[in-house]
Chains A and B, each alone.
Chain A
């Protein structure tokens, strides 16, 4: 019963924290790693072609950041998730459960906003 309650607290905190951290990772380009699928290479951290060579290299060896952003948020969300799992159950009653869907919904809107530059090209 106790472990079930702890998992509930973890799951709720994890979902909320992930949504926030994903937007942070997207906004500040904090990919845990960068994938170069055409080369079969994975580099730790965020790498842009302009870091080292001509930007045109981005066309020849495209980089992928989505996996890295997701990994950043997934790893980061573990901390609040585990903290919430360790907190006493009564503390959770003070938090409005609606945040569980409101914050991810707001995060989705933020993701749309951060993607807007594509629509101005």
Chain B
């Protein structure tokens, strides 16, 4: 059951990673990019259309992660502590802090993309998306490292 949850958590995270990366790159890609080029194609992506997906996927991923975390604390973390993987555990702690900060940013992120104001700078929206992208990338990579170190069933 936990392994299934972990796999679903990973799959949701992959989808989230794709959505937020597309949106972040589309927001930051240079405006003068040549049409048809890599960045030019990114610029043409309707970035706002990713917002709902990002919010739903982030919430789903955080919820699944929050459930799996209970099992991690009991079954996995003690073994990592005994093996002296303190740095890895520190990286994981940073992940959990980042995820919480990102959760609280979701309402503002959604408003910025779905209810933009004419006088609002696009840079604020892009910066907020970049912060969320950093959180998602960090969480994905550290989760992956931890799973490789001692996945469920090992």
Which secondary structure characterizes the binding site on chain B? helix
* Chain B residue at minimal CB-CB distance from A81: B107
B94 contact set on A, CB distance < 8 A: 111-112, 115
The reply to whether B74 and A118 form a contact with Cβ atoms under 8 Å apart is: no
Per-position contact with B for A76-119: 1 when CB-CB < 8 Å, else 0? Answer: 01000000000000000000011011001101100110011111
Interface residues of A in 46-60 (CB under 8 A from B): 59
Question: Once A and B bind, how many residue pairs between them come within 8 Å at the CB atom?
Answer: 106
**What CA separation (Å) do A83 and B131 show in the bound complex?**
25
Q: Is B107 a contact of A10 with CB atoms below 8 Å?
A: yes
How many angstroms between the C-alpha atoms of A111 and B104 in the bound complex? 15
Q: Are A74 and B104 in contact (CB under 8 A)?
A: yes
Q: Which residues of B contact A98 (CB under 8 A)?
A: 124, 127
A107 touching B124, Cβ below 8 Å: no
Contact with A along B72-115 (1 / 0, CB 8 A): 01100110010010110110011011101101110111110001
9 residue pairs bridging A and B, Cβ less than 8 Å apart: A12-B108, A18-B100, A22-B100, A104-B131, A107-B101, A108-B97, A112-B94, A119-B86, A121-B86
